[in-house]
Structure 1
Amino acid sequence: MMRAIVALCMAVLGPGATLAVPAALDEQQDAAVTLQAAMVHPQASETLRGVVDRVDERNDALLIRLSPDRIESFKVQDGLIFNAVRFGDPVEIAVQSIAGFRTIVGLSKQ
């Protein structure tokens, strides 16, 4: 399929475009290798237990009380989590670092 698209582009653009094709294919191959590496080595997730201290839908975040003196804010990957939890719910969360933010990727009520 990809070769057919490249051949069609070559026919439309003419012979001057032949120099750009190998670089474009290399970038696509690099992207495919990066995607495969991400699938083979998914980001490590951390499992934490705590109690929902605050639901902050405006900032796409949950504040979780992890211990009596420690409350942390976590971004939420899926907004449907807001429908599942309320203040005071004991939860177990799976957290990953996504784009520099500690993000909840899984949640279960205890």
Structure 2
Amino acid sequence: MNLTVKTYPNNTAPKLTYDVLIENQQDGGVSATVLGLPDCQGLGNTETEAIEKLSQSLQHRLESAKIVTLAIKVPQVVENPWLKIAGKYKDDSQFDEILEYIE
């Protein structure tokens, strides 16, 4: 497997976007959670407050981390071995008899 890692200098990192799940809590508060990162969450009294806290939490987390992009070459698809014999008996005069027997 071949793989390439792309890294970006701190001043040219691409803008990141995240899908966020917003949920109303039983206590009347609101939680905002980054999908795929369940431990990255913001809680607040309003949706806006929860998103702000989530954004701060995520920014704090990314200050001590880095994001890299992996480009992985897909391995070549091996030909299906069954294709070598597919249709092998299509012109066999006994093929219909064999199918009847199988049924």
Give me the TM-score of the superposition, normalised by structure 1. Answer: 0.27
Larger strand fraction of residues: 1
Larger helix fraction of residues: 1
Q: Which has the higher contact order (CA 8 A, sep 6+)?
A: 2
When Rg is computed on C-alpha atoms for both structures, the one with the higher figure is: 2
